[in-house]
Amino acid sequence: MPRFRVTVEYDGGPFVGWQRQDNGLSVQQVMEEALHRLTGKPVRVQGAGRTDAGVHALGQVAHFDLQRDWLPYKIRDGMNFHMKPHPVAILEVAAVEADFHARFSAIQRHYLYRILNRRAPPAVLRGRVWHVPVPLDHEAMHEAAQALAGLHDFTTFRASRCQAKNPVRDINEISVIRRGEEIHLRVSARAFLHNQIRSIAGSLKLVGEGRWPTERIAQALAARDRKACGPVAPPEGLYLTQVDY
């Protein structure tokens, strides 16, 4: 059976997340239903990352097997047609080897967290950024974030319901920069814990507001205690931007 890799963009707002669930519509379900209508056969789609409800993607990657060969552009155009009007788009399709796996073959995942840092609330960007009306010191946030780079036990910065057996993760790169009215937190690692980036973003916001000193992030990390974490940032500011193989 030929295997195909697809790059996917979606607005996570209307969905319960990437993964199929009983309590609502997921991105995975929309893609699988589109493939069923396109091919006439049930198709299982495997994604590189299980984004939560409300989290967006600019470069999610998934794979699936079809019972016969297809031209990649016909898969792309056919899926995009059958996924209307849902805010999901197939950007690229490529045939891959049978041992390729969107999740397990990935060597790095890149995320972006967007904070709109201005007094006025968002209109066009509503549901796509975290609005923080008080001024934030992005340089202090960046300085504090560097304590999280490298291999650490991230127990403090993961959800209490996280199912990962090991809380140790290796953050290859983390940065906080300002782009006009927006502050961008970028984080790259091979794998992440449940709510890890949103937990980090919420804690760094406290640094940016001056409520936490920069060294508080390192102290929270060392505590290995969920109670040492700041409030978890909302999902609408988070984007899976790219997956490397």
In a domain, 24, yes or no: yes
DSSP letters spanning 83-110? TTTSSEEEEEEEEE-TT--TTTT--EEE
Residue 109 pLDDT grade (very low, low, confident, very high; cuts 50, 70, 90): very high
d(C-alpha 152, C-alpha 55), whole Å: 25
Please give the pLDDT value at position 76: 98
CATH number at residue 51: 3.30.70.580
The verdict on residue 102 lying in a domain is: no
Q: Give pLDDT, residue 78.
A: 98
For position 125, which CATH number holds? Answer: 3.30.70.660
Model confidence over 31-81: pLDDT tens digits?
999 999 999 999 999 999 999 999 999 999 999 999 999 999 999 999 999
Query: Cα(67)–Cα(172) distance, rounded to whole angstroms?
Result: 39
Domain count along the chain: 2
Residue 226 has pLDDT above 90, yes or no: yes
Can you give the residue range of the structural domain that contains 46? 3-96
pTM over 0.85: yes
Q: Is the pLDDT of residue 160 over 90?
A: no
Residue 228 lies in a domain: yes
Q: Is residue 101 part of a domain?
A: no
Domain end point (choices 49, 67, 96):
96
**Residues 14 and 126 occupy one common structural domain:** no
User: Could you tell me the two tokens for 46?
Assistant: 């495997």
- Residue 64 tokens read as 């699936």
- 220 within domain boundaries: yes
138 lies in the same domain as 233: yes
User: At 44, which amino acid appears?
Assistant: R
Q: How far apart are CA 240 and CA 52, in angstroms?
A: 11
- Only one residue has tokens 């999902």, namely 235
- Which residues are designated catalytic? 52
- 138-156 pLDDT, tens per residue? 999 999 999 999 999 999 9
Residues 139, 219, single domain; the answer is: yes
Question: In terms of domains, do 58 and 128 share one?
Answer: no
Range 157-162 average pLDDT: 91
Q: Same domain, yes or no, for 168 and 80?
A: no
Rounded Cα distance between 242 and 121, Å, is 28
**Arithmetic mean of pLDDT, 23-27:** 96
At 87-101, the pLDDT tens digits run 999 999 999 999 999
Is position 208 within any domain? yes
96's CB contacts (< 8 A; 6+ apart) are 3, 4, 5, 63
Q: Determine the residue type at 244.
A: D
Classified as helix, coil or strand, 1 is coil
Where does a domain end: 43, 70, 96? 96
Whether the CB-CB separation of 153 and 167 falls below 8 Å is answered with: yes
The pLDDT of residue 210 is above 90: yes
Q: For all residues of the chain together, what is the average pLDDT?
A: 97
User: What is the structure's pLDDT at 225?
Assistant: 97
End position of a domain, from candidates 96, 125, 156: 96
